[in-house]
Amino acid sequence: MPDAATPALTGAAATLAAALGCGLLIGLERERRKGEGPGRALAGLRSFALVCVTGAAAALTQITGVVVAGAAFVAALTVVAYWRDRSDDPGVTTEVALVLTYLIGVLCAWQLPLAAAMAAGLTVVLAGREHMHRFVRHWLTPAEVRDGIVLAALVLVALPLVPDRPLWGPVLNPHIVVQLLALLLAVQSLAHLGRRLLRARHAVALSSLASGFVSSTATIASLGLLVREGPSGARMMAGGALLSCVSTQLQLLLVAVAVQPSWLPVLWLPALAAAALAAAWGAWLVRGTATGVEPAQTPTPRAQGDDERMFSLKGAAVVAVLLTGVQALVHGLELWLGTAGLYTGTLLGALADLHSALAAVFIASQPTAQAGLAVMLALAVHALSKSVTAGVAGGARYLAWFAPGLWVHTLLGVALLWFLRP
């Protein structure tokens, strides 16, 4: 009988030990902020450790009433502590953390890895108080806060409520349209925040990479105009233009994730290989001429929209509508002309926007040899469109520095797609 009970006792001991460790981890951070004397905070190292172990012990009894009673006791304790707090700024962070610590202890008996992750996450949130407050109050602008709220509402409220069914064959799915819009806004937001954090160093490279997520073609044109209008070096601007093509390759994978994940096994290696080559080539061009140039004196391309805004909702909506429209165009041409219609619609779409054309291919069919050929043709046509844009905007010297890297990384992606085609 004792031998049969040994595994259960060992498991219970391990659960309690893990709960003790989680409680101590959280309590260490709270102890540093607890203070001393009559005005000290509610709980510290020992309190958090005991509460977490209490939650684990309650869960080990496997009696629901005991778990609920323990939670009610901890909640009541926090209410009383908050009511008796006489400080000038009575927050509820410690009280809420104490209740969550009890629940983490309960979770230790059910899902130990998840409980440990929650304990670590809670500790990080508690320890980052000053940095988070400074970030929200002093670093973020009011426009960025509003944009963050819009993005959160779109992802957490609108997206789950939109029906997930196509209205015409495999296209015109409202859920995918909203998902694409949210994806575009999220990428623009990350690019904007990254540009604000890092714009003081390597301005051309970082701004080009960020602007490429909005429009690589527009970035190439704006850098070309800088070459024509001022003393900006053609080599440096061509390097920035090539770095914007990295964003094109990465966004290709994002579109595949959003509309047809079954394409990822075919696309991930060509897209990442092409992006890596474009990044290395572009960095070499920028680094070769950026020595000794002060960041403040370096001309930087600007993404569309106001600098204070994290994204352009109107611009992203236009892109999402364009993506959907090209998808419908390609599907209609495919129904009318068959395979020839698929190729025609894809090539026409690639002249205007690569991601619109490829999204249409992705959503219209699973990975096949014919669809893979359409993707390869779209990549080549889009590279031709960028070459023409660079030549018209920046002139022959700008095009001469930019075109080799553009075509080599594009042909690398096309070649890998050819070998990996279904």
- Enumerate residues 6+ apart whose C-beta is below 8 A from 313: 147, 150, 185
Q: CA-CA distance, 56 to 259, in Å (whole number)?
A: 43
Per residue in 312-335, pLDDT tens? 676 667 656 765 665 666 666 656
3-state SS, one letter per residue, for the chain? CHHHHHHHHHHHHHHHHHHHHHHHHHHHHHHHHHCCCCCCCCCCHHHHHHHHHHHHHHHHCCCHHHHHHHHHHHHHHHHHHHHHCCCCCCCCHHHHHHHHHHHHHHHHCCCHHHHHHHHHHHHHHHHCHHHHHHHHHHHCCHHHHHHHHHHHHHHHHHHHHCCCCCCECCECCHHHHHHHHHHHHHHHHHHHHHHHHHCCCCHHHHHHHHHHHHHHHHHHHHHHHHHHHCCCCHHHHHHHHHHHHHHHHHHHHHHHHHHCHHHHHHHHHHHHHHHHHHHHHHHHHHHHHHCCCCHHHCCCCCCCCCCCCCCCHHHHHHHHHHHHHHHHHHHHHHHHHCHHHHHHHHHHHHHHCHHHHHHHHHHHCCCCHHHHHHHHHHHHHHHHHHHHHHHHHHHHHHHHHHHHHHHHHHHHHHHHHHHHCC
Q: What are phi and psi of 168, to 5 degrees?
A: -145, 105
The mean predicted confidence, pLDDT, of the chain is 76
pLDDT of residue 297: 37
Does the pTM surpass 0.75? The reply is no
Q: What is the pLDDT of residue 357?
A: 66
pLDDT for the residue numbered 422: 64
| In the predicted structure, residue 174 carries a pLDDT above the cut 60 | yes
Give first-to-last CA distance, the chain, whole Å. 60
Tens digit of pLDDT for each residue in 226-281? 777 665 578 888 888 898 889 888 888 888 887 778 888 888 899 899 999 999 99
